[in-house]
Structure 1
């Protein structure tokens, strides 16, 4: 047996830390994860103890050691992916001063409104993004306003993966792809914005050094190395934001391919070669993990969530495969039924938190399977909104879409995607996502591959290449035109219904 070196990709998510161990051939040899607690002290508050991430990393080292006999002797590199936007404030020594405020925490509506009203246009010009509760800057302002005694002690500001990496190396850095999601960085200049920092009284000394995702940022701390029996000087590479690193882990490296992701929320993501001012806040636009690249991202707030909501209403204990097993028996258009997946509001293209979902066209002949297919079609139409807007603003045409998440696991849904997108849809042989992308960054860092294309060729295999069927495309085009009319006709009604009762 030929002995090989390993690199480890660590994906610091909202519920767990996942590790993807890659060998020199580009093969994933081990995947493991460790969970940690989500804290919800109040409605709308989502927090975590940053030290839980560090302890999860140590547990992951132990799990890998148990599963792979030569893990500690052959590991040579580590890199990271991490949940974006979540705020950690710490003292001079890096000790967290309070629980991290996570990306999905919505306590900062007041701060967002204040920023938008008083500085929104300037923020958009500098950061290329609208001000939303998920971003880091509003969380900083919330601490300034609500916990001034904490703010007085702050000397370091981290995002999650950078906090973990600080404890592994002792070095204080943040990569451009994660910094782009803070609303503190000029994404074109790739510098912390002095204008924003001055406006909101944030000393630049509190912020990390900015680096590229592929940059070497230090070796694993000697004490940690000895504690776990690592034999090599393990090189640490910066890593990046989860969406950027996940796209790398799907092999996305050209401008004519997009990703359609159907997790709890849905994402339509495209690589960009420059900053496109015509987007003007219509999409999220961030620096990519790939040097000097960017990515645009449209979001459907309730993609998989719409399906799980409906399944739980009808058949909570049923598997998704069984629940969706008969949708192929329903014709295109669900026998004249439309569903808009706005159960939690919608992001792209409307940025409307008060819009709500609708079944349109329901009559007494409709079956449960009709409703199931309508939900799937509605989620895909919502992702189509991002595709259409992206292609029209940039005068571009996607020639391939990589489908990941729940939508990639159902053959009928894959054909529906190909037909609605009118684009070839492919899936991954093994879907590892951000953990694999982080491992790929480490593999490039230690010199296993000279180019990203070579790395992708060794690590990623596509399957299920599904082409659109022309007659289906024509039918869906007509139905999609009707779908786009539902939002303007239901907006005022659902806004009124969602208002607090008098």
Structure 2
């Protein structure tokens, strides 16, 4: 039997999955690593932690299965997007990685907009947002110039780990699209953007397709991971692109909803010239010469995690969600907006903050829990509406991640999004997408679509309830009004955040 491994390098942990030729997940393992927040708005990690935990996860995956290393044909990656890793000419990391959820770069975003103006959307196809990589590079340029002077190359998180495994540098198009340095439709680094900020072209790594072979394991890495030196290592892709592959979003009209730390609504896109005016993200897909359009809720699963940790730390997530089935749609007049770390779509606003509105003495923990889920889903609905306004027909949505783990939440998605929600039989999200890239790269299938047909199967479907849909339509209109009436208040409160 032959196998491939998908490695998903997330924000809080690395996950490895072992997949056979039928698409069955034989085993999985994860290892967590810390997140550093040295100042308000800062979010950093040690790249060495990613490497150590990835190797440990691979080793334990192999030990738990007792599968012969010779049966592992290849592995590939999914990675958290946008994170800045600066390395010198020897490959040494120069500073902690600045992550996607770091919001220190508002001033640098304004500088990008003022410098490039309309050219930014024409080239990078995305607005300048704090999460992206170019603002982070400009922050280092402004405050740590000596480090940027030492930098030979910038990499994204998974690309650094892959470099450490193979000794070779590369970055795939799907991840490069989130840097604001890529000419997205031209599929090359933008000289115009680099020159506008006096950045050397040499700082950008070679570009490859997500399924391209990037080498094999270094001998010492093979020994530490329990694999063989001739194990093939493929480029991999951005976590959202890999999540799309793992959900089978590989043809026009296919759409997914993913709830992780952040929340994503993503749809396959073939139209190069469609103009979303920066309202949503437009990125290269891991499928060759294809794109995906995407709206992001910054705090989706994180809103629920924060709520549980703050208000119900002693109960499990399953126990927390048990009571929501007894609460009617609308949580008895309680409304939550998930802006607890700012927002991305449709409001690119680092200063907006969340709120509970409508609290009264009759509201108990289940009301608040349901309101949190509804608020997260309302935010995802705003992205769905932007896609529909572009002419896309969205009547079916594949749900993956934390939002696919609870039946009541799945039904809520159907009712709020106004679409049939499909849950997959075996949902591994980005890790499965990474494994599928390895399987395709190894030649198991003639296309990623053929791989998806063999690996992915629907398990359950949730159909919108017309009465609940009507109720949520009214509540959604109220939800949409909250941003406008709390924006100024959030700005005024910002000086008290510390």
Shift of residue 288, structure 1, vs aligned partner: 0.8
**Aligned-pair distance for 1:158?**
1.3
Other-structure match for 1:25: 22
* SS at structure 1 position matched to 2:75: strand
Q: Could you report, residue by residue, the CA deviation over 1:275-330 in whole angstroms, capped at 9, with x for unpaired residues? A: 35431110111111111111111122222333334334442211222222222222
Question: Does residue 1:323 correspond to 2:320, yes or no?
Answer: yes
Aligned 8 A contact 2:58 2:226 in 1: no
Q: Matches of 1:309 and 1:481 in 2, distance apart?
A: 25
Q: Tell me the alpha carbon deviations over residues 217-272 of structure 1, each in whole angstroms, 9 at most, x when there is no partner.
A: 22333454467674573222111111111121122223333222222322111111
In structure 1, list runs of 5 or more residues that go unmatched: none
Q: How many residues align?
A: 497
Cα distance in 2 between the residues matched to 1:15 and 1:343: 18
CA RMSD across the alignment: 2.3
Report the counterpart of residue 60 of structure 2 in structure 1: 63
What residue is the counterpart of 1:89 in the other structure?
Answer: 86
Aligned to 2:7, what secondary structure does the other structure show?
A: strand
26, 43, 46: which one aligns with 1:46: 43
Q: 2:307 aligns with which of 301, 307, 310?
A: 310
* Alpha carbons 2:173, 2:286 under 8 Å: kept: yes
Q: CA deviation at 1:115?
A: 1.7
Alignment match, 2:252: 255
Q: Distance in 2 between matches of 1:176 and 1:19?
A: 22
Aligned-partner Cα distance in 1 for 2:238–2:12:
16
Bigger CA radius of gyration: 1
Post-superposition shift, 1:391?
0.5
355-364 vs 83-92, greater mean Cα deviation = 355-364
- Aligned residue number for residue 457 of structure 2: 461
Tell me if the contact between 2:345 and 2:382 (Cα under 8 Å) persists in the aligned partners: yes
Counterpart pick for 2:333 among 333, 336, 345: 336
Q: Say which SS state the counterpart of residue 178 (structure 1) adopts.
A: helix
DSSP-derived class of the 1:98 partner: coil
Tell me the equivalent position of 1:405: 401
After superposition, the C-alpha distances for 1:406-454 in whole angstroms (9 at most, x for unaligned) are: 3222222211111111110111223322111111100011111122232
Say if 2:468 is the partner of 1:439.
no
Q: 1:264 to 1:96 in 2, by over 3 A?
A: closer
Quick one: which of 470, 473, 477 aligns to 1:474? 470
So what's the TM-score if we normalise by structure 1? 0.92
Inter-partner Cα distance in structure 2 for 1:407 and 1:225: 36
Query: What residue number does 1:12 align with?
Result: 9
Select which of 223, 235, 242 maps to 1:238. Answer: 235
Q: Which residue of 2 aligns with 1:179?
A: 176
Separation (CA, whole Å) in 2 of partners of 1:150 and 1:485: 44
User: Is the 1:256–1:399 contact (alpha carbons within 8 Å) kept by the matching residues of 2?
Assistant: no
2:160 aligned partner:
163
The answer to whether the 8 Å contact 1:88/1:160 transfers is yes
Contact 1:6 1:71 in 2 (8 A): no
